[in-house]
Structure 1
């Protein structure tokens, strides 16, 4: 079950049902199931980037990873549950996996240091999960064919059940979209900053900010130069989208 918001199918089934869908895909192993995160900034960027737009529209699960998505849905009268942050999806899946049979994770993205910290913490937090591989890709805006082949081979040779990709949006979603058909893995999750949050190299906002819908604010105050476009430029544009859509609803057009 999903809502249609600005041309995107965004899941409103709740975290537990989404996680159950992932495990069904892992057990079936018939195709590669793909999860991405939707927030106001990603939808604004996607409106100017056709490949990114397509990658979000083709996601099997597009989670509402942004308070702005929930606010938009409520204003437009769409049924919605609540925000599901990428880190909550990652931890939820890991807790569920840790209670079952052995499952294999592969982490693609970030630095060797972050990947090593993730491996150590996974071993401590979720002993039933095996990190069967990690790969820190070269830091460049575009990967070469050789880069892509090296990543694909590393993943396929490791034979993971789950591939977590953390390269930041839209790079990670576009990479998955272009290479998904070559990957022999039942589930892929694009989770960006979750790598840093879980490794402890960046701190997630406290529960206070999360609960009042302002999780973004402490991050913005810490990294204003990096996040100004996301928070100060994309947010007004997204609000404009909501107003325009609401006017269309009221006028019946």
Structure 2
């Protein structure tokens, strides 16, 4: 699973959606373990300044490109990603696969009642889908050891194949990485707000906005107070940093060739 492109220090997988889902099924069927990190622009920028978070992403088996700008960056860096893989797409699409192949899910996180609504919605659309369990932990900046142990035991008792976590990024990435060795699941993945969106509680942007990389703008309009800093202050530095990386890579490559 070394098919990756280095984007500002984060090794992002070049897999598209169908390839990612096939890797998930192969892990389940083969008794392997797969930790997946979904990385939009803001996560890559945070990881650039946070060595611990960068390590979490770079040791995950799969690191998906959640967003058109990440795919654009890979093209500028001459190692194009074959397709973006967002939590909003991966969750409902893999539910179809899971219903056909008898894979089971556990939903951890989001506000109280959201996981149950999500489970009901997905089961209605995918008859036969197995939901092994759901749990919404009490809100906390950091969970107690007792709460962490409770969640681990609930997931393990469920015998779920896939653990979907909605604790917001990067909190969900830390939680999964810190407890992955104790979790008896084949696949663990953090998908942020996907629980609410797929359940129908939050409306997703129109397809044309998704295609042109404007999904961030739609989300910003919906939640300006929470997302303004992320999209208006942090994200704009992404493109200049990518151009700088591309220039440095080209210069280093040229230097190597001329030696």
In the alignment, structure 2 segments of 5+ residues that lack a partner are: none
How big is each residue's C-alpha offset from its partner over 1:155-211, in whole Å with a ceiling of 9 and x where there is no partner?
111110111001000100000010000101111111111001011111110112112
Aligned residue number for residue 137 of structure 2:
137
Which 10-residue stretch deviates more, 232-241 or 220-229?
232-241
Aligned residue number for residue 2 of structure 1:
4
Shift of 1:9: 2.4
Which 10-residue stretch deviates more, 163-172 or 3-12?
3-12
RMSD: 1.5
Which 10-residue stretch deviates more, 121-130 or 19-28?
121-130
How big is each residue's C-alpha offset from its partner over 1:208-247, in whole Å with a ceiling of 9 and x where there is no partner?
2112221111111121111112111222222231122122
Shift of 1:124: 0.4
SS in 1 for 2:96: helix
CA contact (8 A) 1:8 1:56 kept: yes
CA contact (8 A) 2:7 2:44 kept: no
Shift of 1:13: 2.7
CA contact (8 A) 2:9 2:54 kept: no
CA contact (8 A) 1:51 1:174 kept: no
Q: Report matched runs for 1:42-53 at 5 Å.
A: 42-53=43-54
Shift of 1:6: 2.3
Distance 2:152 2:251 in 1: 50
Aligned residue number for residue 20 of structure 1:
22
Which 10-residue stretch deviates more, 6-15 or 205-214?
6-15
Distance 1:64 1:86 in 2: 10
SS in 2 for 1:205: coil
Aligned residue number for residue 217 of structure 1:
217
CA contact (8 A) 1:38 1:64 kept: yes
Which 10-residue stretch deviates more, 42-51 or 19-28?
42-51
TM-score (norm 2): 0.92
CA contact (8 A) 1:105 1:132 kept: yes
Distance 1:151 1:250 in 2: 47
TM-score (norm 1): 0.94
Q: Report matched runs for 1:117-196 at 5 Å.
A: 117-196=117-196
SS in 2 for 1:47: helix
Aligned length: 251
Aligned residue number for residue 82 of structure 2:
81
CA contact (8 A) 2:68 2:212 kept: no
Distance 2:48 2:75 in 1: 22
In the alignment, structure 1 segments of 5+ residues that lack a partner are: none
